[in-house]
């Protein structure tokens, strides 16, 4: 799962506040000169893997701890700058690696919308760190990657309850062995209490054919369901706790896990 536990928080648009993304991006840009810091810890494991037919017939023996630190800065009301380093401890088939796995640098540009909806585009480049020995297709392979993502966000009332949805589509170019990727993600959330948000997500990725070596990097796809609670502890600080489950896929590990994230706005 290449940092999507940690590449940040689920997008949320309730009371005008959207946390930063771990898995999904945030369609909303920050106000000019506003700084937001999001720190996310994730634990995941995968005792099983999904084979070419999508069956959990393979063993995986995969464990990972990740710390992702996301910085976002509003250069203008319409342009947000993004930087996110990822630190990981990974064990796969008895082989351990730890250190700086990769960093994401990017920009998010608001294209249109009003107070209750938004259309934006986000471009990021992923720079490799010092963990590059794994053949797991969902992890960064020690090469530069590029992504362009289109985003739509809306917030509304659902029978008197504040709610939101977020739709995203992306294409990621990957140097090295793995194939490029298509992404299609969806999030829905509602606010049963003023200080509590409930979020559900669907995260989906498909490989663009096979990689350079089909035996090492065959065609793959991964489909995950996520759920979380976002607790607003103050106007400037929020805590998010959640988990995720890989419910379908092909030629990927069946990764499940949980995460906790804190976001502070300056």
Examine residue 198 and state whether it is found in any structural domain, yes or no.
yes
Examine residue 99 and state whether it is found in any structural domain, yes or no.
yes
For residue 245, what is the domain's CATH number?
A: 2.40.160.40
Question: Please, is 213 exposed, middle or buried when counting C-beta atoms within 10 Å of its C-beta (0-12, 13-18, 19+)?
Answer: exposed
Question: What is the distance between the alpha carbons of residues 84 and 110, in angstroms, rounded to a whole number?
Answer: 20
Examine residue 257 and state whether it is found in any structural domain, yes or no.
yes
Question: What is the distance between the alpha carbons of residues 166 and 148, in angstroms, rounded to a whole number?
Answer: 16
Mention every residue, 6+ apart, whose C-beta is less than 8 A from residue 214.
Answer: none
Instruction: Summarize pLDDT for 118-171 with one digit per residue, the tens.
Output: 999 999 999 999 886 666 788 877 889 999 999 999 999 999 999 999 999 999
Examine residue 18 and state whether it is found in any structural domain, yes or no.
no
Examine residue 26 and state whether it is found in any structural domain, yes or no.
no
197 vs 1, residue with greater confidence: 197
Q: Is the pLDDT of residue 22 over 70?
A: no
- Identify whether the C-beta of residue 66 lies closer than 8 Å to the C-beta of residue 88: yes
Instruction: Summarize pLDDT for 77-109 with one digit per residue, the tens.
Output: 999 999 999 999 999 888 899 999 999 999 999
Q: How many domains does the chain have?
A: 1
Instruction: Summarize pLDDT for 140-155 with one digit per residue, the tens.
Output: 778 899 999 999 999 9
Examine residue 17 and state whether it is found in any structural domain, yes or no.
no
Domain of residue 40 covers 35-265
Examine residue 2 and state whether it is found in any structural domain, yes or no.
no
Examine residue 5 and state whether it is found in any structural domain, yes or no.
no
């Amino acid at each position: 799962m290449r940092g999507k536990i940690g590449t940040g928080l689920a997008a949320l648009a309730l009371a005008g506040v959207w946390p930063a993304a771990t898995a999904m991006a945030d369609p909303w840009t920050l106000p000019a000169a506003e700084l937001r810091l999001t720190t996310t810890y994730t634990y995941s494991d995968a005792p099983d893997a999904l084979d070419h037919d999508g069956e959990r017939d393979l063993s995986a023996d995969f464990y990972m701890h990740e710390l992702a630190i996301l910085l976002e800065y509003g250069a203008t009301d319409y342009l947000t700058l993004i930087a996110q380093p990822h630190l990981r401890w990974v064990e796969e088939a008895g082989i351990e690696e730890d250190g700086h796995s990769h960093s994401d640098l990017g920009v998010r540009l608001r294209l249109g919308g009003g107070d209750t909806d938004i259309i934006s585009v986000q471009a990021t480049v992923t720079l490799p760190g010092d963990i590059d020995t794994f053949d797991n297709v969902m992890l960064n392979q020690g090469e530069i990657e590029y992504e362009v993502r289109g985003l739509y966000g809306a917030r509304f009332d659902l029978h008197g309850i504040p709610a939101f949805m977020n739709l995203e589509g992306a294409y990621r170019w990957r140097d090295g062995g793995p194939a490029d990727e298509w992404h299609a993600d969806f999030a829905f959330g509602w606010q049963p209490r003023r200080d509590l948000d409930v979020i559900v997500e669907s995260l989906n990725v498909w490989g663009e054919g096979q990689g350079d070596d089909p035996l090492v990097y065959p065609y793959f796809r991964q489909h995950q369901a996520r759920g979380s609670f976002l607790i607003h502890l103050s106007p400037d600080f929020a805590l998010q706790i959640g988990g995720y489950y890989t419910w379908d896929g092909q030629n990927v590990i069946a990764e499940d896990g949980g995460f906790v994230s804190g976001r502070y706005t300056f």
